[in-house]
Amino acid sequence: MIKNKKLCLFLLGFAAIIFVACEKLLPGAPAQNELLDGPVEGLTSEENSKFLAGDVAFNDAIFTVENGLGPYFVATSCGSCHAGDGKGHPFTTLTRFGQSDTTGNQFLNLGGPQLQNRAIPGYQPEQIPAGATSAKFTPPANTGLGFLAALTDAQILANADPNDLNGDGISGVPNYISAPFFFVPQSFHQPLNGKYIGRFGKKAAAIDLLHQTVNAYNQDMGITSEFAPAEPGVNGVPAYPLANPEVAVNTVLDVVFYLRTLKAPIQRDPTNENVLAGKQLFTDLKCASCHTSEWTTGPSDISALSYKTFYPYTDLLLHDMGAGLDDGYTEGIALTSEWRTPPLWGLGLAKNSQGGTYYLMHDGRATSIEDAILLHGGEALQSKILYEALSDTDKQNLIQFLESL
Amino acid sequence: MDAVYNRPFLQAGKMPVSLGGYLETNSSYFQTDGVTDGLSFQIPRLTVFMASTIKDRIHFLTEIEFEEGGREIAIEFASMDLAIHPLLNLRGGVVMNPIGAFNQNHDGPKWEFVSRPIASTTIIPATWSNVGFGIYGKYGFGNFVWAYEGYITNGFDDQIISNDQNKTWLPASKLNPDRFEESFNGVPLITAKTAFRHRKAGELGVSWMGGVYNKFEIDGLPIDARRRIDLFAVDFNSVIPRVKTQIKGEWVWAFIDVPDTYTQQYGEKQQGGYVDVVQPILTRKMFGWEKCTLNLAFRFEYVDYNVGTFNETGGTISDHIYAFVPGISFRPSAQTVIRANYQYQLQTDLLGNPPARTAGFQFGFATYF
Closest Cα of chain B to A382: distance in Å?
A: 32
Domain presence at residue B29:
no
Of B214, B310, B351, the CB nearest to A83: B351
Look up the CATH number of the domain holding residue B267.
Answer: 2.40.160.10
Percent of chain A with pLDDT over 90: 75
Instruction: Give pLDDT, residue B43.
Output: 87
Report the alpha-carbon distance of residue B183 to residue A403 in Å, rounded.
Answer: 55
| Reported confidence tier of residue A12, pLDDT bands at 50, 70, 90 | confident
Task: Kindly state the average pLDDT of the residues A114-128.
Answer: 91
Contact (Cβ atoms closer than 8 angstroms) between residue B28 and residue B361: yes
Q: Where do the structural domains in chain A lie, given as residue ranges? A: 32-404
Which structural domain, as residue segments, surrounds residue B226? 17-23+41-368
Mean pLDDT (chain A, rounded): 92
Q: Look at A4 and B287 and tell me if their CB atoms are within 8 Å.
A: yes
Alpha-carbon span A355 to A367, nearest angstrom: 12
CA distance B359 to chain A (A): 5
Answer yes or no: do B31 and A27 touch at CB < 8 A. yes
User: Is the pLDDT reported for residue A141 higher than 70?
Assistant: yes
Contacts 24+ apart (CB under 8 A), B104-107: B104/B3, B104/B4, B105/B3, B107/B7, B107/B22, B107/B47, B107/B366, B107/B368
Q: Is residue B36 part of a domain?
A: no
Q: How confident is the model at residue A387 (pLDDT cuts 50, 70, 90)?
A: very high
Q: Residue B7: what pLDDT?
A: 72
The pLDDT value given to residue B299: 97
What is the rounded CA–CA span in Å between residue A58 and residue A61?
6
Specify the pLDDT at position B10.
62
Residues of B in contact with A138 (CB under 8 A): none
Residues B235 and B275 sit within 8 Å (Cβ to Cβ): no
The rounded distance, in Å, linking the Cα atoms of A229 and A14 is: 61
Gyration radius of chain A's alpha carbons = 24
pLDDT over 70 (residue A19): no
Looking at the structure of chain B, the number of domains it has is: 1
Chain B contact set for A18 (CB, 8 A) = 340, 342, 361
| Terminal-to-terminal C-alpha distance of chain A | 65
Give pLDDT tens digits for A71-91: 899 999 999 999 999 999 999
Of A25, A76, A354, the CB nearest to B359: A25
Q: Closest Cα of chain B to A331: distance in Å?
A: 25
CB atoms A27 and B34 under 8 Å? yes
HEC letters along A248-268: CHHHHHHHHHHHHHECCCCCC
> Does residue B28 sit within a domain?
no
Distance, in Å, from the CA atom of B131 to the CA atom of B179, rounded to the nearest integer, reads: 8
Closest CA to B102 of B223, B304, B248, B246: B248
Q: State whether residue B260 sits within 8 Å of chain A by CB.
A: no
DSSP secondary structure string for all residues of A154-219: HHHHTT--TT-TT-SS---B-EEEEPPTT----TT---BTTEEEE-BTTTT-BSSHHHHHHHIIII
Q: How confident is the model at residue A168 (pLDDT cuts 50, 70, 90)?
A: confident
Per CB-CB distance under 8 Å, the chain A contacts of B315 are: 355, 357
Distance from CA of B227 to the nearest CA of A (A): 10
Interatomic CA distance for residues A401 and A2, integer angstroms:
67
CB contact under 8 A, B351 and A121: no
Cα gap B229→B227, rounded to integer Å: 7
| The pLDDT value given to residue B11 | 59
Alpha-carbon distance of B27 to A276, in angstroms, equals: 51
Domain contains B63: yes
pLDDT tens per residue, range A204-233: 999 999 999 999 999 999 999 999 998 888
Which residues on B lie below 8 Å from A119 (Cβ)?
261-262
Q: Which residues of chain B have a CB within 8 Å of the CB of A356?
A: 352-353
Does B35 map to a domain? Answer: no
Phi, then psi, of A234 in degrees rounded to 5: -150, 155
Q: Nearest chain B Cα to A28, which residue?
A: B34
DSSP B17-28: EEEEEEEEEEEE
Tell me the HSE value of A82 on the side-chain side, using a 13 A CA sphere. Answer: 20
Residues in chain B with CB shorter than 8 Å from the CB of A352 are: 353-354
- Decide if B11 is inside a domain: no
CA B165/CA B162 separation, integer angstroms: 8
Average pLDDT over every residue of A186-196 = 94
B345 is a domain residue: yes
Is residue A317 pLDDT above 80, yes or no? Answer: yes
**Residues of chain B below pLDDT 50:** none
**pLDDT for A192-202, tens place per residue?**
999 999 999 99
